[in-house]
Structure 1
Amino acid sequence: MLYRIISQEGFFKIYSGLTASLLRQATYSTTRFGIYEALKDYYIKHSHNQHPGTLVLLPMSMISGAMGGLVGNPADVVNIRMQNDSTLPIQQRRNYKNAFDGLYRVYKSEGLKSLFRGISPNLVRGVLMTASQVVTYDIAKGLLIDQVHMDPAKKSTHFSASLIAGLVATTVCSPADVVKTRIMNSKGSGQGAWTILQNAIKHEGVGFMFRGWLPAFIRLGPHTIVTFLVLEQLRNFRLGM
């Protein structure tokens, strides 16, 4: 697919929707990571427990993920449409100039409600992503330090823990990702997440929920690794954390 896009449409087509993707990260990721770290710090400060367990971290991550999904939904709608635009017939293409043009045009032509199309699966995805990503990272890092005796300050420890987190997050979030993408890329068919899920399982089988797992991991794996390596450096230099 990567080869076909570059050879048939040009190199820069693999960056379709970049502005919307950046806007999504600037809203979705900063919200979920910020709230999660704030909740965790608050708990540690008031409980005097430096190593909260899974039962404590899980609800924190779920709240953070849901808030991130809500804040990032408009940018996510535009992002998915811009990335999929070239697959549509020419007369049906939206041709958004950038993320802000996309937000404005969706609002103007389809209404505010359309910016929150797919909000249900996106909230579910936000919860699943944050819970599987940050909790898995914290648990994996703890196990690598305690059981494998890796240095908690070294980047190799952070890299290993984030790679595990990326694998888990990709697998857990794949079903919600597939359904969310189909809803957001639709032209308002009126079908909800549950109807789309039922129809897809009926016509394509359960395996449809993991369609695109490899490209999802190729995206989410490096993304997770870079995110946590940067977060650890921010924590190390005490920049906002």
Structure 2
Amino acid sequence: GGVDRHKQFWRYFAGNLASGGAAGATSLCFVYPLDFARTRLAADVGKGATEREFTGLGDCIVKIFKSDGLKGLYQGFSVSVQGIIIYRAAYFGVYDTAKGMLPDPKNVHIVVSWMIAQTVTAVAGLVSYPFDTVRRRMMMQSGRKGADIMYKGTIDCWKKIAKDEGSKAFFKGAWSNVLRGMGGAFVLVLYDEIKKYV
């Protein structure tokens, strides 16, 4: 059983991409409203206590739900699913494939594993970052009405950012995201090391 990673490389690679992407998209369905509320609360912090829109996580979720319904809590969800599929597919798919192509995949030195994981995490983070930028922009306009709404939808958001701000705007903050991902690379390697002994 299984796919021969050397004879059927593309099938092996596609299988790793698909399983990584599916895992990311499935988990996102459940945690998205919490991520949404966290993003909104982070933007609400700089104001004085009396000017704040929300008093906490629960208040944010309730107010957005009352204002826009369940749809409001999932504002930017479709672009998030696309981004997470790309990120997780690259993260797990490329990592597992790269390790599988080594001469002895089960006995890879931890430093080599970490270097592969570091590269994969950085590439996955950069490739998926434009989706994250659009996602955050869509989240920030939830609960707004009329003239306060900047984007008609996800595609409109992509177009306006590209036209008004240029392609660099999609990558604002990407470097800090890559640095943050270093922890993710360590977790990926640690998970592999633990699997050896379990």
TM-score in same-fold range (> 0.5): yes
Q: Please tell me whether the aligned partners of residues 62 and 128 of structure 1 are also in contact (alpha carbons under 8 angstroms).
A: yes
Are residues 50 and 177 of structure 1, via their aligned partners in 2, closer, same or farther at CA, if it must alter by over 3 Å?
same
2:158 aligned with 1:197: yes
**Counterpart amino acid of residue 161 in structure 1:** I
**Counterpart amino acid of residue 76 in structure 1:** D
Q: Which runs of 5+ in 1 are unaligned?
A: 1-46
**What is the alpha-carbon root mean square deviation over aligned residues?**
2.7
List aligned pairs for 1:50-129, cutoff 5 A: 51=5, 53-87=12-46, 93-97=52-56, 99-129=57-87
2:91 aligned with 1:130: no
Q: Which runs of 5+ in 2 are unaligned?
A: 6-10
Are residues 202 and 221 of structure 1, via their aligned partners in 2, closer, same or farther at CA, if it must alter by over 3 Å?
same
Q: TM-score, normalised by structure 1?
A: 0.67
List aligned pairs for 1:137-148, cutoff 5 A: 137-143=95-101, 145-146=102-103
Secondary structure class of the residue paired with 1:117: coil
Are residues 50 and 106 of structure 1, via their aligned partners in 2, closer, same or farther at CA, if it must alter by over 3 Å?
farther
Alpha-carbon shift at residue 141 of structure 1 (Å): 2.2
Q: TM-score, normalised by structure 2?
A: 0.79
Are residues 231 and 103 of structure 1, via their aligned partners in 2, closer, same or farther at CA, if it must alter by over 3 Å?
farther
Query: Identity, % of aligned pairs?
Result: 20
Q: Please tell me whether the aligned partners of residues 13 and 94 of structure 2 are also in contact (alpha carbons under 8 angstroms).
A: no
C-alpha offsets along residues 53-103 of structure 1, whole Å, 9 cap, x if unaligned? 212222223322322332221111012112222346766533443x44543
Moved more, 106-115 or 198-207: 106-115
Q: Please tell me whether the aligned partners of residues 68 and 126 of structure 1 are also in contact (alpha carbons under 8 angstroms).
A: no
Are residues 115 and 237 of structure 1, via their aligned partners in 2, closer, same or farther at CA, if it must alter by over 3 Å?
farther
Q: Which has the higher contact order (CA 8 A, sep 6+)?
A: 2
Are residues 100 and 153 of structure 1, via their aligned partners in 2, closer, same or farther at CA, if it must alter by over 3 Å?
farther
Match of 2:182 in 1: 221
Match of 1:26 in 2: none
Q: Please tell me whether the aligned partners of residues 159 and 229 of structure 1 are also in contact (alpha carbons under 8 angstroms).
A: yes
Q: Please tell me whether the aligned partners of residues 121 and 185 of structure 2 are also in contact (alpha carbons under 8 angstroms).
A: yes
